[in-house]
Each structure stands twice: as C-alpha cells, then as structure tokens.
Chains A and B, each alone.
Chain A
Amino acid sequence: MSLKKALVVARWEFIEKVKTKAFIISLIIMPVFIMVMAVVPSLLMNKPDTTVVNIGIIDETGKIAPQLNESLNEKYKLPDGLPNYNVVTIPPGDSTREEANRMVLQKDISSYIVVDTGLINSRKFEYVSENVSNFKDISRLQSAVKDILMTNELEQRGVSPKIVAEVSKPVEMETVKLSKEGKEEKAHAGSGFILGYIFIIILAVFVLTSGQLLVRSVVEEKSNRIVEVLLSSTTADEIMTGKILGLSLLGLTQLAVWGLIAFAFGGQMAAFVTVPGSIWWEGVFFILGFLFYSSIFVMAGAPVTTEQEAQQATSYVSMLLFLPIILATLVAQNPSASYIKILTLIPLLTPTMMAFRIPIQTPDLWELVTGSVILLASTYFCMIAAGRIFKIGILVYGKRPTVKELFHWAIRRS
C-alpha cells in the first residue's frame, strides 16, 4: 500500500470537511450546548431568592411557629440582608385548611405546613403547595423542623441550649484517593466518576463525529459514482485509510478547539477533577477504541446507498457507545465486580468501560494488558474485514446486503 495516496485522500477529506458550515457550527454549538446543559440548571437551582418567600403554618402545638420563624431568619437571608422567609401563622380552627388553601391559590403564601399536637411522637408533618418540586424550600423546612424538635426534646431533658448548639454542628468529610502505588491524594468525592464520564463523552463525540462523516462521505461518493474514479486511481485500502486518517484529524481538531474553550471557561472544573497517574492507559484505549469503532462504521457504512440508510446504520453503532453509561452507577459502586471485569473484556465495550473504570479505580495491570491485547487483535481483524467489505460494498447499489452477505464478504480472501 502506498501511503502517499492515502495522504492525498486524507488531506482532501480534512480540508473539504473543515470548510463546511456544518463543521464550523458544530465547533461552536456543541460547547455552548454542553455548558448550557451543565451550568444553567445548577445556576438556577442555587440562585438565591430575591424576594421574601411567605410560608404558612397551621400550628396546633402553638410552639413550633415562632421557633421556625427564628430558625429560618437566622439561617437564610436574602442578598439585601432581609430574611428569606416570612412565617405566616394561620390560627387553627374549623375552616383553617380551606383558608390556607385559598391563600396558596391566591399566592398570599407559597406553601404551608401543618404541625399537629402528635408531632413529637409521630414525627410527621404535612407540606402543602401547588409545587411540590421546590427541593430547596422543602429540604430547608424539613431540616428546620427536625432541628427544632431535637432542640426542644433535649432542653426538656435538661440539656442547656448552648450544648445543644454545639453538638448539632455539621460534620465535614475529606475524601482521600489511594492510588495503586499506595500514594494518598486528596480528591473530591465522585471526581473519578466525573472524569470517567468526561472520557466516555469525549470518545463518543469523537467516534460519532468522525464515524458519521465517514459514512456520509462514502454515501456521497457512491451516489456520484466518484468512487469509480477513486478506485481507478488508487486502491480501496488506500481510500479507506485516507478517510479514517483525514476524519480522525478532523475529530482531533474539534477536540482541540473544545479543549481550549473548556480551558478558557472551565478553570474550576479542571481543579475539581484529579487526574490519576494511570492516565496514559486512557490514551491507549482511546486510540484503539477509535480505530475499532471506525472499522465498525466502515463496515456499517460502505454497503448503504442513501442518507437515510446511513443514519440508521450509524445509530445502531452509536447505541453500543452509550451502553457503559447505562451501567455507570453499577461500575461506580463496585468497579472490580467480576461481571464488570467480564464486560470490560468484550471488545465492543472495552474502550468505554476502561475509560470509565480507570479514573474511578485503576484496574489491575493484567486486566489492562489483556483488555488492550484483545482490543488490538479485534481492531486488526475488524480493519481487515472492513477493508474487504469496503471494497465490495462501495460498488453495491440499491438493495442493502444482509448480515450474512456482509459476513461472506468479510471472510472471503480476494
């Protein structure tokens, strides 16, 4: 095989795709989208209230309401220093409930709680609102009531309020990650998990971008019959190699730009994740994984004739990429469970499983080596099979070949 012509193909694929509007838009849209998805909800969740929130209370005990008011005022302030919450006492009576409901509906109060005399024993109270998904208010009320009950109980048993305040101080926990080499490192809880996620998403985006472009460029060349001119100037292997090279370069460009954007905007994010020493294994699985999935895209893409078929073929392959995300919580809980180990050694899952597992808890060396050897061998065979399918597939028009036919093409020696 002459690499020279593969490079000519690679250069063409890269330059022509880099210039397209779709690519330029994806460069900007994707980071914006991710930032919006990641940052905006948490910003909104943590956004402090700017106006006083009125909370009603139907207090049969007569003791909780003032305590609640005091406790909320002490803990939660508005940005301008005023109390965040205003506790509105609704006097108990026959039609109190109706009255309270009316107030909620008229927006006089945002919600109300019902505290009955049996609270101390039942340890239950009601929260009534039009919106029961306001997690911030709900959790604040819940913990405030709990604290009040505890304080009252302890004081009744003769403990001084000062001691109560001291013993109910919150506890902080520091997480330390122990590496394979026995090194201790401070790490935020869940940082490995986040890093794993980031790796999978990068790999998936990378594979999908390049893979889809690969399939689309094959479909275009087939429909324009350019493929015949290409094949009369060079060989199918060179075309395939050139395409994979050119489009991975395109994917790398995309990653580099996104990396720069992330670096510029997400300084705190980078500080939050701790990069383990075994990070270079990630690189190994990333590159092998990319080549492996590319060959699968070639196999899926070469025999199709239309855009729609191409979309279909690529969506099946894409699903495989996201499988480990479904398993994510299981992996995070017990990354060295034996069924996780077995799943990791299935070539289709190896790149993403490893990408996920390495930052959480680096697998044993034997696992890393076995995984990469199996993946390397699978990549090699898939590339050869893909080359054969490509050579026949790019000249097939109309009826889509069956899996059986594809298999025959793949094993047949030319």
Chain B
Amino acid sequence: MLSVSELRKDYGSTKALDGVSFDVNPGEIFGLLGPNGAGKTTTIRIALGIIDPDSGTVLFGGKPLNVGMKDSLAYLPEERGLYRKSKVIDVLVYFGGLRSIPPAEARERAMRWLKRLELAAVSNRKVDELSKGMQQKVQFISCLLHEPDLLILDEPFSGLDPVNQIVMKDIIRDMKSQGKTIIFSTHQMEQAEKLCDRICLINEGKVVLYGSLGEIKRNHGDDTIHMEFEGDSSSLRKLENMATMEVYENYAELRTREGISRQEFLRQAISLVDVTKFSVEEASLNSIFIEAVKGDKTGGRNVA
C-alpha cells in the first residue's frame, strides 16, 4: 500500500529523519510510534507530499504520489483546526470538494456522518460555537467523507474524553473491516497496543523496532514480571540486579538479570511493599518502547 524507503530530512543541523524505511500492508492498522520529536509527523508529511525529503522515496502501490492519488488519502493532523468562522456543513463540503466529491454528494455524506456522531443539530452552527470535542469529531468526519483507502491519523485520541475515544475507535475498526488501511501515529503505547497489527517505532529519526506487534512482543520474551502493589514505590527502585525495571505508584514491570530467580525478587519485594498481584507474561508495549528508546540513547551510538 505505502512503501517508504531511506527517508532523510535535515532541519538545519538537526537530523529529523535519518534513513527511515517501512512498508504498510493493505488492510492493516499500522502504528507509527515514537516519543515526541522522534520524526513521526515529519515522516507523515513527507509521505503525503506536504514537504519534500532531502532523499529517499515514497511509493503508493508501487507508484510515486500524484495529485489524482491524493483523493484516496486522508489525513488528520495532530494539531487540529477548522475554519472557525464558517458553518460546520460548509467546511465539510469544502473538504469533500478538495477530494473531488461534488458538493451535493459531499453534503449528503456529511449529514450522514454528523447524524452518526450525534452532531446533526449543529450542522448549521459556526465551528467557533462548538465544543472542542465536537470540533475534533467534525474534523474526523472531514477525513472520512471521500471514503479514503488510506487514512493517516496523527494522535487521533489526544484531547478526547473516554466516551468519544470509544466512538472513534469503533469507526477505525469499521474502516478496517471495510478493507481500508490505517496509519496510526502516537506516543501513547496503550492505544497502539489495543489497535495495531504492525508497528514501526522511530526514535531520533531512526527506526528502532519494526514488525508485527505479536512478533515484537514474542521476541521480547515472556518472562516479564507484572506486579501490582501497595506501599512505598521508591523502595522498589533501589533494588539491584534488575535487567529492566519500570516502577509506577502501584504498578511495576520488570525483568531480572540472568541468574536471579523470580522467587528471589518476589521475596525481596514482599519485604518492601504489600504485593497484591504478581504475574509473569509478555512485556507491555510501553516497557518495550521505553527500553528501546533508552537503549538507543545509552547504547552504541558512536560519537564522531
């Protein structure tokens, strides 16, 4: 569907992208992940032809992007915005028009979507008069009017309340069942873990993890300790002999060093806090993410 190879882009002396490559298969939900400033948005902008890369190629179905192909793409930018002084329905018809949908058709589709998202009553209001959540939903609709084959969503859930997040997720799943491809960019791993088939993790302009979510998790082993507890979390942080350890207020995820048994760790932990749940499973995407990003920073980066 989309094939990105060896993208490079410099902004002055900072390397925004340093050889990013990945493929997105038709019909999948693909997670483009990474911390803030990793290069996710730059990658998306280049893929959509908004900016040009310094080098590298972007192919859609084996062909470089042209204006006609843009009609089958959709993009929801991270920073949202609509024409504030215009009517909701007019804005939607305009965005439909930009994707070659005739006005009458666009109006009909827009009304259908507004009804589905319970916004029909505000179709003649100015965007300004809508709540933030409503505006986000309107903008989401603007991406769907032309029934795109590829939908690129940059942090689609940020700023949405849980109820609306569920509405959006349902729509995304719907799109997938219709055979559409979705690229989902986020730094919130819990979201990605629930939705994505495959992921590409970028850090400092480089791909650090890439593949199917299941495979990545399996490669990471199934020996990660997930522990819930009550008590002083800081005492846990002082424990030694840990390969990796993420400690939160009443949750910790960790792996022990080789040679140190889990029983040994549990004994120590019990003496420090009140353990309420203890299990050994696959690592969460969040800790894989943190590990990969940290390892990338401290690990073998050659200083020239």
Contact = CB atoms under 8 A, between A and B. Distances in A.
Partners in one complex: yes
B90 A233 contact: no
B86 interface: yes
Given A5-B67, A228-B50, A233 B81 contact: no
B26 interface: no
B49 interface: yes
A234 B67 contact: yes
A224 B82 contact: yes
Contact of B77 (A2, A9, A20, A225): A225
Nearest to A230: B98
B77 A231 contact: no
Contact of A16 (B70, B71, B83, B97): B83
B83 A5 contact: no
A223 B49 contact: no
Contacts of A223: 81
B51 to A, nearest CB: 6
A198 interface: no
Interface string B83-97: 111100010001101
Contacts of A2: 67-68
Contacts of A224: 81-84
Given A220-B83, A225-B80, A395-B50, A8 B67 contact: no
B48 interface: yes
Interface string A220-247: 1001111011111111001000000000
Contacts of B51: 395
Nearest to A394: B50
Nearest to B73: A232
Interface size class of A (residues with CB under 8 A): 20 to 34
Nearest to A235: B67
Contact of B97 (A8, A226, A228, A231): A8
A96 B41 CA distance: 91
Contact of A233 (B45, B77, B82, B98): B98
B48 A4 contact: no
A231 B49 contact: yes
B86 A228 contact: no
A4 to B, nearest CB: 7
A376 to B, nearest CB: 28
A268 interface: no
Which residue among A225, A231, A232, A395 has the maximum number of chain B CB atoms within 10 Å of its CB? A232
A234 B97 contact: no
A228 B83 CA distance: 13
A414 interface: yes
A68 to B, nearest CB: 67
Contact of B85 (A4, A20, A234): A20
Given A8-B94, A8-B98, A395-B50, A232 B75 contact: yes
A12 interface: yes
B83 A229 contact: no
Contacts of B80: 225
A234 B99 CA distance: 8
Given A2-B67, A5-B67, A414-B52, A228 B45 contact: yes
Given A231-B49, A234-B70, A226 B98 contact: no
B65 to A, nearest CB: 10
B100 interface: yes
Interface string A341-380: 0000000000000000000000000000000000000000
A4 B81 contact: no
Contact of A229 (B71, B85, B90, B142): B142
A5 B71 CA distance: 11
A409 B256 CA distance: 55
B79 interface: yes
Interface in B1-60: 45, 48-52
B281 to A, nearest CB: 40
Contacts of A15: 90
B83 A233 contact: no
Interface in A1-30: 2, 4-5, 8-9, 11-12, 15-16, 20
B170 to A, nearest CB: 23
Which residue among A12, A220, A229, A230 has the maximum number of chain B CB atoms within 10 Å of its CB? A229
A1 to B, nearest CB: 8
Contacts of B85: 16, 20
A232 B49 contact: yes
Nearest to A8: B97
B67 A231 contact: no
B75 A12 contact: no
Contacts of A8: 94, 97-98
Given A8-B94, A233-B98, A226 B50 contact: no
A9 B75 CA distance: 18
Contact of A234 (B52, B86, B98, B142): B98
B75 A228 contact: yes
Contacts of B97: 8, 11-12
Contacts of B68: 2
B233 to A, nearest CB: 39
Contacts of A226: 81-83
Interface in A319-360: none
Given A12-B94, A224-B83, A229 B77 contact: yes
B81 to A, nearest CB: 3
Contacts of B82: 224, 226
A226 B49 CA distance: 15
Nearest to A414: B52
Given A16-B83, A228-B50, A229-B98, 10 more contacts: A2-B68, A9-B98, A16-B86, A223-B81, A224-B83, A226-B81, A226-B82, A230-B98, A232-B70, A395-B50
15 contacts: A8-B94, A12-B94, A16-B85, A20-B85, A224-B84, A226-B81, A226-B83, A228-B45, A228-B50, A229-B75, A229-B77, A231-B49, A232-B50, A235-B67, A414-B52
Which A-B residue pairs are the 5 nearest by beta carbons?
A224-B81, A233-B98, A232-B75, A8-B97, A232-B48
Interface of B: 45, 48-52, 67-68, 70-71, 73-75, 77, 79-86, 90, 94-95, 97-100, 142
Interface of A: 2, 4-5, 8-9, 11-12, 15-16, 20, 220, 223-226, 228-235, 238, 395, 414
